[in-house]
Structure 1
Amino acid sequence: MSSALPHPTACENCATPLQGDFCHHCGQSAHSPVRSFGHAVEEVFESFWHLDGRIFRTLQQLLLPGRLAAAYLAGHRTRYIPPIRLFVILSVLTFFVARLAVHVDAGTFINQTRTPPEVPGAFRDATTSDEVEHVRRALLAPLQQSRNTMPESLRSPIDVAIAKVEKQAARRQRELKEHPPAASAPAATKAAAKPVQVTPGDGSDPVDISFLPGFANRWLTGQAETIRLNLPRISERPQLLVNAFFGAVPSALFVLVPLFAVLLKVFYLGSGRLYLEHLVVALYSHAFLCVALLGILLLSMLGGQMTAVPGAGIIIGVLITLLVLWMPCYLLIMQRRVYGQSWLVTTLKFTALGWLYFTVVTAATVVLAIASLARI
């Protein structure tokens, strides 16, 4: 759909006579997005659909380890999409597809679908050994269910909570043995044993991590209470957690990528490269990881649609395995090509750098998963 208006003879921005498709004075395009639907679409998707085909050239070079980063750092920039723009596009696209590809059915994450039955109040209100045990079981049940359905890397906060409940129960049992309630106060005992709803996180069981400042412990206590209230919703619609997690990943990457560039700067202090050059390497590295992850997700979706085809599952499984194995190999070759050091030195640095960054990413994943629980 194009406008019938004639092609302008002068730049609409600075009135300089035009000699082509761009003004040689200010650089503005002669094509107006408000006069042509095609140019309006091109304006929106310029990085992908511009006539110079930079997106295809960029992706082609990105698939070759280190080729794109080395070319960009050598000054060959006009042929390729800028690294930050490429990373943003690929990360958003990848984790949008992840939200479509990863599905969790109700009942497979947390089976806690109803509010726990009424139990005697917090441990301080329990006056008999049986009441302490009743409270302990009521508090541990949802925690253990959550732990059993979570990946191993995400169980640490739940393990801490379980250990704390066990410790409080044991302490209360000791207190009751050392100082049993007076037998002459049946009314008080009866009142203390009145069933009430246990609400860990309402202030009776605050988070208290010794090495954190007070405001951090108070924030964590509030997050824990929000998570507790969200558990029934997650049980009914676990996909909410999946969507919240993948929706937050691109934002987290904007912190992790500059951090990875800092690690590159530290490991290559003698390379003479500036921090922004290391940032380019970090952006292209993560852009490739997004492409690889996107390929894995698409293959998984394809496999789900080809279950009736003999041998399709094996082929797709092999392809996914090869992609997973290629990812660290790609990064190693890229690091060798960009920084030009020997294979031995590069491998040692790659191993140490990879271990440090994997530790950071694992911690960030745990924090992101917990934060997602509190924000659905």
Structure 2
Amino acid sequence: MSHGKIREDKTCLNCGHQVEERFCPHCGQENIERRQPFYFLFTHFIEDFTHYDGQFWGTLKNLIFKPGMLTNTYLEGKRQKFVPPVKLYIFVSFITFFVFALFPMVKLNFDGNNNSKNTPKISFFEKIKSPEVQKMFDSIKAERTLTRKDSLSIQNLNVLPDTVTVNEIKEVLKMNKKIDTDVEYGGYKTRKSYDSAAAKNPSFLDFIQIPLAHKFFELKEKGVTKQEIVVNMIEKSFHNLPKALFIYLPLFAFFLWIFHSKKKWWYFDHGIFTLHYFSFLLLNILFIFLLSKLVGVISFRPINLLLYLTMSVLLLYNIGYFFIAHRRAYHAHGMVSFIIGLTLLTVNFFAFMFLVTGLALVSFLMIH
């Protein structure tokens, strides 16, 4: 609720109607003074963006702990008590990806040029090229798999997991090399030879294959290394992920529409359920992400075990949440709801994997 000072003049500044109380009955504008103290900018922002009067926190509480309740309430016409679905999704999405941007999930440094005041920071590939590490590699290169002692030594370097094999180390060491001139794409070493073959034998997949081939040969000619490709794909995919999720929203609602009665449930109803469900998914992912970051910071084993247990519970709840929300929102019987829910999750899994694959291809095409 706003705390701006109410004007003595009861004429609405927006539409000119008479205002008896705080809000204009004609246009809804609050009849407060045009000029307010500077701190009002911040309080007004918090109130408008999060409904700090209790609406926002009440919405989050019910979203997390009462699956399907927000959807039911909204579809019943009670729409002032909680934050609207679209606004909720946009806010949660913004917070989630903002936190991801602050604490990157994958942090790779390949130049080794960033230095701190005390200790120079070297990259992953510079670290494993150091004389000490190379000496360790030489001592175990004859072994097919690493011993527990060797694995722990590598783990202390914070560069590889303790289940790594010698072959995997060799693959990592090749990441800083350029794409070999002998490497082929579809059996062709140059763009000219590939285009010539594609012109002679056209395919209905050429709209995908040709751009990918051209990008491959372009990167090959520029001398781009494998590690640069990996980093660029990760960065591009991360930046495109919010767009991909936003695109997938109507598709998720469409699958719900297919599996439910068209007379009883409109596409609009499925859209409301989808917005609430995706808002929960983003929050759940955010919680798990923050807990995983804590695991990397805290070295006390009992606390780490508790964090891992919490993350496991959240993952299980993430799966069960959909079934509970679906049964409550659509008022379906337990077994029927479970079968429909399981079918929907399966269909959406493959559809989303298809979208992720497309996202990876787009990310590859965007590499410069």
TM-score (norm 2): 0.71
* Paired residue type of 1:35: Q
Deviation at 1:91, TM superposition (A): 1.8
2:280 counterpart residue number: 288
Q: 1:235 to 1:229 in 2, by over 3 A?
A: farther
Aligned with 1:269: secondary structure? Answer: coil
The answer (yes or no) to whether the contact 2:179–2:220 under 8 Å persists in 1 is no
CA distance in structure 2 between the aligned counterparts of 1:361 and 1:287, rounded to whole angstroms: 17
Count the aligned residue pairs. Answer: 298
- How far 1:231 sits from its partner (Å)? 8.5
Deviation at 1:250, TM superposition (A): 1.3
Q: CA deviation at 1:236?
A: 4.9
CA distance in 1, matches of 2:104, 2:71: 30
What is the aligned partner in structure 2 of residue 98 from structure 1?
Answer: 100
Q: Is the 8 A contact 2:5 2:32 kept in 1?
A: no
Would you say the 8 A contact 1:332–1:350 is kept in 2? yes
Report if the CA contact (8 A) 1:47-1:81 is conserved.
no
* Cα drift, residue 110 of structure 1: 8.7
Partner AA of 1:20 in structure 2: E
Structure having greater relative contact order (Cα 8 Å, sep ≥ 6)? 1
Call closer, same or farther: CA 1:50–1:338 in 2, change over 3 Å.
closer
User: Is the contact made by 1:66 and 1:334 (CA closer than 8 Å) also made in structure 2?
Assistant: yes
Q: Distance in 1 between matches of 2:249 and 2:343?
A: 17
Give RMSD over aligned pairs. Answer: 3.2
1:77-109 residue CA offsets vs partner (Å, 9 max, x unmatched): 111111111111212321232332402324488
Shift of 1:230: 8.6
Alignment partner of 2:317 out of 314, 326, 330 = 326
Query: Is residue 90–residue 287 contact of structure 1 (8 Å, CA) maintained in 2?
Result: yes
Identity %: 25
Tell me, what secondary structure is at the counterpart of 2:270? helix
Contact 2:212–2:365 (8 Å) recurs in 1: no
Q: Distance in 2 between matches of 1:41 and 1:80?
A: 22
- Find the counterpart in structure 1 of residue 134 from structure 2: none
* 1:6-58 deviation line (CA, Å, top 9, x unaligned): 83523221233433332222111234676343443355444544343211011
In 2, the alpha carbon distance for the partners of 1:19 and 1:42 equals 25
When Rg is computed on C-alpha atoms for both structures, the one with the higher figure is 1
Provide the C-alpha distance between the structure 2 equivalents of 1:48 and 1:229, rounded to a whole number of angstroms.
49
Instruction: Label 1:274 to 1:286 Cα distance change in 2 as closer, same or farther (>3 A).
Output: same
Q: Which amino acid aligns with 1:66?
A: G
Trace 1:221-236 onto structure 2 (pairs within 5 A). Answer: 221-225=213-217, 232=224, 235-236=227-228
8 Å Cα contact 2:55/2:82 also seen in 1: yes
Matches within 5 A, 1:22-33: 22-31=23-32
CA drift of 1:210 comes to 6.9
CA drift of 1:375 comes to 2.5
What is the CA distance between 1:270 and its match in structure 2?
A: 5.1
Question: Which residue of structure 2 aligns with residue 62 of structure 1?
Answer: 63
Q: Distance in 2 between matches of 1:241 and 1:346?
A: 39
Q: How does 1:146-165 map to 2 (within 5 A)?
A: 164-165=186-187
Cα 1:34–1:306 change in 2 (3 A) is farther
- Give the conservation status (yes or no) of the 8 Å contact 2:6–2:33: no
**Residue 334 of structure 2 aligns with which residue?**
343
1:205 aligns to 2:205 (yes or no): no
Gaps of 5+ in 1: 120-134, 141-160, 169-197
| Distance in 1 separating the partners of 2:222 and 2:359 | 16
Classify the secondary structure of the residue corresponding to 2:193.
Answer: coil
One-letter identity of the residue aligned with 1:103: V
Q: What is the alpha-carbon distance in structure 2 between the residues aligned to residue 300 and residue 342 of structure 1?
A: 37
Task: Specify the code of the residue in structure 2 equivalent to 1:115.
Answer: K
Report the Cα distance in structure 1 between the residues aligned to 2:240 and 2:45, rounded to whole angstroms: 24
